[in-house]
Amino acid sequence: MLEALNPQPQDKILQLIAMFREDARTDKIDLGVGVYKDATGLTPVMRAIKAAEKKLWETETTKTYTGLAGEPAYNAAMVQLILGAGFADRAASIATPGGTGAIRQALELIRMANPAAKVWLSAPTWPNHPSIVKFLGMPMAEYRYFDVASSGIDFAGLMADLAGVAAGDAVLLHGCCHNPTGANLTPAQWDEVIALLQAKKAVPFVDLAYQGFGDGLDADAEATRKVAAAFPEVLIAASCSKNFGIYRERTGVLIALTSPERKAVVQGNLNFLNRQNYSFPPDHGARLVTMILEDAALTADWKAELEETRLNMLTLRQQLADELRKATNSDRFDFVAHHRGMFSRLGLTEAQVVRLREEAGIYMVGDSRINIAGLNAQTVPVLARAIAAVL
C-alpha cells in the first residue's frame, strides 16, 4: 500500500530555515521564520506564562482527559478576549491544536453544513489555507487583497472579486495584521466589506492570529467584533501562539456564532469534529491562558509585556522605514512604518531576494516577506544598506 504514495512538495519556509542553519556566516540574518524574537534573537517565555506554569505545577492534581470541547473556562475566556461582552449566548466553541487546528475544524464544519459552499481566500494568504481547502476537496476562489505597486490594499479589486460571492459561501478574512503583508483594511473599508457580504448572504470566516500585535488588544479585535455583530453566523479561528508566546503548546480556539436557539446543535457538531480528529484537544497551553485571563495581576502583567512587544515592532518598523529612505534616497519603503504586525512584503523581486541571501546572508521568503521581529536596532541599518545595494 505505502509504495503507492508520492513525494509531497517541501514547505518553502522550512527549506529556508534549513538553509539558514547550514549557512556558516556569523553575521547572517533570519527574517523568514514567523515567530517573535527579542533584541537578542530569543523567542522568550512571557513572564505571566512562567508564573502560571509555576502555579500550575504546584496546584495541578490530575492529568485526566478534558471535555471534547476543551475546558469550558478556556472557551469562555477566549470568547470574552476576542469578542468582549454580549456574545456568550450565541457562541459555540472548541479548543483546538493551534490556529491551524481551528482553521481545519472550521473548514470541516463548513463542508458538513454546506458541501457546495465555496471558500474565498485573499491573495495572498498563508499557504496552509489553500492547502487544507484543496486537501478537503472544497470549492475555492481567490479575491484580490494586496497591491504590489503601492504595498497597500487593492480595495477596488477586492470589492470587485467579492461581488462574485454566492449566498452560503464562506469568505476568509484576516482580523488584523494581515499575515503575509502587514497591510490592514481601514475601519471604513471594513464597513464596505461587511455591507457587501451581508447583501450576498455570505458567511464570514475570520482568522485572528495576531490580536495585540497591531494597534492593541481591543483595537485589533474591533473589526472581528464588527463582523460578529453584523451577521447571524460567523466563524472565528484564533491562536494564542503569538500573543501569549506559546507556539509549541498548540493553543487555539474555534468560535462559531449562531442563534441562541441553534447554539446547542452547533456545539454538538463541533464536539463531534474534535472527536473524529483528535478526541480531546491539548490542555496545557489552554490552562495557562485561562489562569492568566482569570487572574487580574497575571492579566495586567501579560498585557504589559504584550504591549512592550507591540511597541518594539512599531519602533523597528519606523527605524527600518527611516533607514531605507536614507539608503535609497526615496520614499519607496515608507509603507513599512504604516503596516502592522510582524510581517511586511517589501516588493523586491525573487532575484533580489536571492542576492540578499547569497551576498549578505539575509534570509527572507521568496516574495520578499520579512518578519520585522527578526530585526534589532543593530541589524536594521545592515538590512537597509543591503536592500539598497540590490535595487
Positions marked catalytic: 126, 207, 209, 242
Cell readout for 120 is 474565498
Amino acid at 374: G
DSSP assignment letter at 3: G
Would you call the peptide bond into 130 cis, given omega within 30 degrees of 0 as the criterion? no
CA 331 to chain centre: 28
d(CA 269, CA 94): 10
| Angle, helix 47-59 to helix 296-328, in steps of 10 degrees | 150
User: Do the bridges between strand 362-363 and strand 140-144 make them parallel or antiparallel, or are there none, so unpaired?
Assistant: unpaired
Nearest in space to 111 (alpha carbons), one of 273, 233, 275, 232: 273
Cell readout for 345 is 512584503
User: Do the bridges between strand 203-208 and strand 234-239 make them parallel or antiparallel, or are there none, so unpaired?
Assistant: parallel
Q: What Rg value do the Cα atoms of the chain yield, rounded?
A: 21
What number of CA atoms fall less than 13 Å from residue 13's CA on the CB side?
Answer: 14
d(CA 244, CA 325): 34
d(CA 116, CA 118): 6
Give the ranges where 84-216 is alpha helix by DSSP (H).
98-113, 128-135, 155-162, 187-200
Nearest in space to 113 (alpha carbons), one of 269, 277, 254: 269
